[in-house]
Amino acid sequence: MNQSLNDKKYAPIGVFDSGVGGLTVAREIMRQLSLERIVYFGDTARVPYGSKSKETILRYSRQIIHFLESKGVKAIVVACNTASAYALEELRPEMRIPIIGVVKPGAKVAAQVTRNGKIGVIGTEGTIASQIYTEMIQRHNPHAIVVGKACPLFVPLVEEGWLKDPITIEVAKRYLASFQETGIDTLILGCTHYPLLRSVVRDIMGEGVELVNPAYETAQGLKRLLEECGIANDGAQPEGAPMYQFYVSDAAEKFKSFANSILPCEIKEAQLIQIEE
């Protein structure tokens, strides 16, 4: 192998999530940073993260980061809102490579696009309880009013495949009703599963409310980060290096079929590993 191809810039990006949701982030990275290789880990044995405590999410995230580092990644994307909310700030000082989450890029854009300073956030119980979006949005716009709403049934509805279903619409109406009197003009889809419910949310909220998809903004943020660190891939690839690799802690076949239904490329294998060890 050519010496220069051992450069850090040819190493893959590590991406992790509690399960399949982070694939919406991987998909954006594939679209926007098509030269970058990816090692994805989905913690399907311990999914979901949204209802679990900060301590538990921190422990799980540490295990996963060690695993991704062992695969030689050059940067890590926390493609899970709950892990970004609970673990990112605490983990960053422990790391030797850059790490970014999905919360900050989404919060930043929301703070920029709002016209009236009133922003809604939907997410898991963990993400909403952490108030992380409020904190991040107010870093950019201290006067912003942020209204959060946990939507715990959205993830199981997406995983049931009921994407444009009357029941899903009813559940969404119930959850989103809490924004009615708030006057928000911007709504963050603060969970990686939620972009798959985008059209349902769009129909209920109407054209007057801008929907922010943190997956898209995260890929943009990653692009900037790689360029700033001088580790963006310039197009060369180490011989025989796989473009995309997928690892899970459980139910590899089910993961593979979900992945193939939403990714722009066909994945051949999701490899099962024991993350607890």
Residue in the structure block whose two tokens are 């540490």: 62
From the CB of 51, what's the least distance to its own copies, in Å?
7
Report the residue number, 57 or 219, with the smaller CB distance to its own copies.
Answer: 57
- Residues 173-202 touching its own copies, rule: CB under 8 A, are 174
User: Residue 101 Cβ, how far from its own copies at the closest point, in Å?
Assistant: 21
Stretch near its own copies under the rule CB under 8 A, chosen from 90-98, 111-119, 153-161, 197-205: 153-161
Does 257 interact with its own copies (rule: CB under 8 A)? Answer: no
Contact between 84 and 190 under an 8 Å Cβ cutoff? The reply is no
How many alpha carbons lie under 13 Å from residue 71 in its C-beta half-sphere?
Answer: 26
Question: Looking at residue 148, what DSSP letter applies?
Answer: E
The reply to whether 191 belongs to the active site is yes
Q: Per DSSP, what are the bridge partners of residue 186?
A: 119, 210
Concerning whether 265 is annotated as a catalytic residue, the answer is: no
Contacts of 114 (CB under 8 A, 6+ apart): 141, 144, 185, 186, 210
What pairs with residue 148 in β-bridges?
Answer: 121
Q: How far apart are CA 184 and CA 145, in angstroms?
A: 9
Chain residues 31-60 in contact with its own copies, contact rule CB under 8 A: 44-47, 51-53, 55-56
> Which residues here bind its own copies, judged by CB under 8 A?
44-47, 51-53, 55-56, 152-153, 155-157, 159-160, 166-167, 170-171, 174, 249-251, 276
Active-site positions read 80, 191
